[in-house]
């Protein structure tokens, strides 16, 4: 006979399992804070202790070097963008759409992929750049949105930082993929923001910013224009969401002052990340801006685009950036999205409020320049 358990006591979110709704996607996240106490005897990653040179003659991304394609990089002095030599999307893809019994559905996708080098310095990641250099990266992101938004409905700017997170080259760089269709996750965000706006007559993320500014338990950093929080529905251990305090839907709308304040908070956040375990903290990050007016597409492709996706009203959108770092306990222990996460729903081992408290307590000055010993313990440092 199965044993029956009856709930007892008072619910405490820092001790008891519970689920939180991601209002941007509609997905639920299982939070199991008591599991953070379990011993770890699983895989330990090799700590990245490389001391990189400012220039690497064998790097495909360094100035003046030749890439695999044979193309030679210019002797660039600031951020540099070029067409990806191994592009995931192609402008020459023929238009095609097929559907067999609503079971075998295929749609050709056209687009392009680019690489953006943040700096000619091979050794410096984003938090180690000077503020004017980060501003130049933001300006190039903005220029890419302005250009590619003329002919593509979705422009995805992102960065995979660190070999543990799939980065194939240590030179500080990100990527830009532009497509005629809106990919799955931003399409969900578009739908959820639109639904909230229609139901409540106010912007979802602007309302969320106001709530977080009032609650403050999940705030990591803020300045006059920007807010960084561990979102209430965070999946990854030290996931953060970067949000504007003003009503902007795209990077192109930022003033020069807002670009500078964005550079400041990007530097502060990524420095806090590196300071957590005193290592070059890996993450995947990316901007989500409002989709652009749908470009000219074939009649077949247009059939797969929802009515909402063709609506050019973007008042329901708020520009934001997601940061998804994989590290959990130390520089060498990461969170694995396997098992229950693959087959049921995402699960995390500490509350977002606990994660925000740890990040907030760290210095916003990078440990390499501050001269401080910021490691939480010798076992948590990768040095």
Q: Which of the residues are catalytic? A: 173
Determine contact, residues 152/113, Cβ cutoff 8 Å: no
CB neighbour class for 100 (10 Å; exposed up to 12, middle 13-18, buried from 19): exposed
**How far is it, in rounded angstroms, from Cα 369 to Cα 278?**
12
Non-local (6+) Cβ contacts of 120 within 8 A are 55, 62, 63, 76, 77, 78, 80
The angle at the Cα of 237, spanning 330 to 274, to the nearest 5 degrees, equals 50
Residue identified by tokens 């106490």 is 37
**How far is it, in rounded angstroms, from Cα 255 to Cα 248?**
11
- DSSP-derived secondary structure letter, 35: G
**How far is it, in rounded angstroms, from Cα 331 to Cα 35?**
19
Determine contact, residues 347/340, Cβ cutoff 8 Å: yes
**How far is it, in rounded angstroms, from Cα 261 to Cα 366?**
17
User: Which candidate, 368, 324, 375, 313, places its Cα nearest to that of 346?
Assistant: 324
Mode of pairing for the β-strands spanning 327-330 and 320-324: unpaired
Report the interhelical angle of 256-277 vs 352-360 (nearest 10°). Answer: 100
């Amino acid at each position: 006979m199965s044993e029956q358990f009856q709930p007892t006591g008072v619910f405490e979110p820092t001790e008891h399992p519970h689920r939180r709704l991601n209002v941007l996607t509609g997905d639920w996240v299982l939070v199991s804070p008591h599991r953070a106490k379990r011993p770890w005897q699983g895989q330990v990653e090799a700590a990245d202790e490389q001391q990189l040179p400012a220039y690497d003659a064998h790097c495909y991304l360094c100035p003046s070097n030749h890439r695999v394609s044979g193309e030679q990089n210019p002797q660039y002095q600031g951020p540099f963008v070029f067409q990806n030599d191994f592009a995931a999307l192609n402008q020459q893809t023929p238009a095609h759409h097929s559907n067999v019994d609503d079971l075998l559905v295929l749609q050709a996708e056209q687009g392009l992929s680019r690489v953006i080098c943040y700096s000619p310095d091979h050794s410096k990641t984003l938090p180690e750049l000077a503020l004017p250099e980060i501003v130049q990266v933001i300006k190039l992101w903005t220029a890419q949105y302005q250009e590619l938004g003329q002919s593509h409905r979705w422009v995805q700017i992102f960065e995979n930082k660190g070999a543990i997170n799939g980065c194939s080259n240590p030179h500080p760089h990100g990527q830009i993929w532009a497509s005629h269709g809106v990919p799955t996750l931003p399409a969900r965000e578009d739908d959820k923001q639109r639904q909230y706006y229609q139901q409540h007559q106010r912007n979802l993320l602007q309302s969320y910013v106001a709530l977080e500014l009032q609650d403050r338990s999940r705030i990591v950093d803020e300045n006059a224009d920007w807010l960084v929080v561990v979102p209430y529905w965070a999946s990854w251990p030290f996931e953060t969401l970067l949000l504007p305090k003003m009503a902007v839907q795209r990077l192109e709308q930022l003033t020069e002052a807002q670009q500078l304040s964005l550079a400041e908070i990007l530097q502060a956040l990524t420095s806090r990340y590196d300071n957590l375990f005193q290592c070059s903290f890996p993450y995947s990050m990316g901007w989500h801006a409002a989709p652009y007016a749908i470009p000219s597409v074939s009649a077949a492709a247009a059939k797969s685009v929802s009515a909402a996706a063709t609506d050019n009203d973007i008042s329901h959108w708020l520009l934001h950036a997601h940061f998804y770092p994989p590290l959990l306990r130390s520089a060498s222990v990461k969170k694995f999205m396997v098992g229950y996460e693959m087959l049921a729903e995402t699960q995390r081992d500490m509350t977002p409020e606990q994660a925000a408290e740890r990040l907030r307590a760290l210095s916003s000055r990078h440990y390499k320049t501050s001269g401080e010993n910021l490691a939480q313990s010798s076992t948590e440092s990768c040095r």
